[in-house]
Amino acid sequence: MDLGTPKQNLIKQIPAERIIRPPGFYKSIVFDVCTVLSAAALGYVYSLYLQNKATPLVFGSVIAVFGIFSALQVFLTKNFARRFSILVLEAFVFIPFFFDYSFELLVAVVFFFLVFATLGEVASRRAMDNSLQVRFLAVARPVLTRLTTGIVLILILLYIPQWNPESIFLSENAFQGFFDSAAGGANKFYPEVMFSGSFKELAESLARLQLAGTSVFLSLSPASQEQVVRQTASQIIESVSKNLGVEVSGGESTSKIFYNLIIATLRGFHDRFGQWFLVGWAVAVFFVARGFGTIFYWAVGLCAFIVYELLLAIDFIRITGESRTHEVVEFT
């Protein structure tokens, strides 16, 4: 009896091809998005800072976050082409907040960012390839140093078109904060001098300090001493006004007088030298900011290392060994 040949379903016999995602595929995408968003936040906050709508503390914190993501990208993005594409995205999400600037200036900003960021990436990746173990700070240092240089240069380029003597790269409130800190340090060495009060109080404290060592002053009655101090303080204020060429009121705060003096000096230099003054000012600010940047990128590197250890602790990333006994960091 012919039972017949059973029908075969050839389609079901061929297993469907499954797409297997590499470990950490979605984590890497989220991390890249966060890196790009940190660049956008940097551009947004700096635009607010130029309008005196953001404090230096907030601005510095945003730069630090951007630096942390940039340092971690060296370890977690293995493909350099992918990393470069992320750098391009970072540059283009940074500049929309400055579209009122000239096209040439924005091109220069993108160019300098890509150059310094790419040089840092290459140097850090070379340091990582030449090490058998993951030495975080040694690998992160090249990218942070070059990125700091690039950021300082870019921020100065974006600031120059808005330069005016009243801002001097610091608002009056920010200058007041720096002056108060400096005055507090000076008071530790000269507690008898009133740095933080009005200029009249400063002049009177200087007069007392000057007259305290004279026998004639000490022989006077307390009322006469106060009168002599006031007269000497008035002479000091008049002398300062004459020598500086600005009107000095004893009732104004010392910090405001110094601020106005700096403003007047910068305005005079700008009127005298024109664009050459801006060039010299930009160079001076670059070297000063880059000097502080040395401390800054070490602090950012330390913060990035702490974040790196936390990501290891929560199993967001892990360290594995390659066939050549070379440790790498990857998503779990």
DSSP per-residue letters across 127-194:
HHHT-SS--HHHHHHHHHHHHHHHHHHHHHHHHGGG--TTTTTS-HHHHHHHHHHHHHHHHHH-TTS-
**d(Cα 109, Cα 157) in Å, to the nearest integer?**
7
Q: What is the mean pLDDT of residues 199-228?
A: 77
Cα separations in angstroms, 79 against 54, 259, 307? 36, 50, 22
Supply the pLDDT for residue 168: 57
Read off the pLDDT of residues 250-267 as tens digits, 9 standing for 90 and up. 677 778 777 877 777 777
Supply the pLDDT for residue 124: 93
Read off the pLDDT of residues 269-296 as tens digits, 9 standing for 90 and up. 877 887 787 788 888 888 888 888 888 8
Read off the pLDDT of residues 162-184 as tens digits, 9 standing for 90 and up. 766 555 556 677 777 777 788 77
Supply the pLDDT for residue 254: 78
Q: What is the mean pLDDT of residues 98-113?
A: 93
The mean-pLDDT minimum among 7-16, 67-76, 138-147 falls in 7-16
Is the pLDDT confidence value at 237 over 90? no
Supply the pLDDT for residue 170: 64
Is the pLDDT confidence value at 325 over 80? no
Read off the pLDDT of residues 13-59 as tens digits, 9 standing for 90 and up. 555 556 666 677 788 899 999 999 999 999 999 999 888 888 888 99
What pTM, to 2 d.p., does this model score? 0.69
Read off the pLDDT of residues 118-148 as tens digits, 9 standing for 90 and up. 999 999 999 988 877 888 989 999 999 999 9
Which amino acid is residue 186, in one-letter code? Answer: A
Is the pLDDT confidence value at 82 over 90? yes
Supply the pLDDT for residue 208: 79
Cα separations in angstroms, 46 against 71, 95, 283, 302, 314? 21, 11, 20, 24, 33
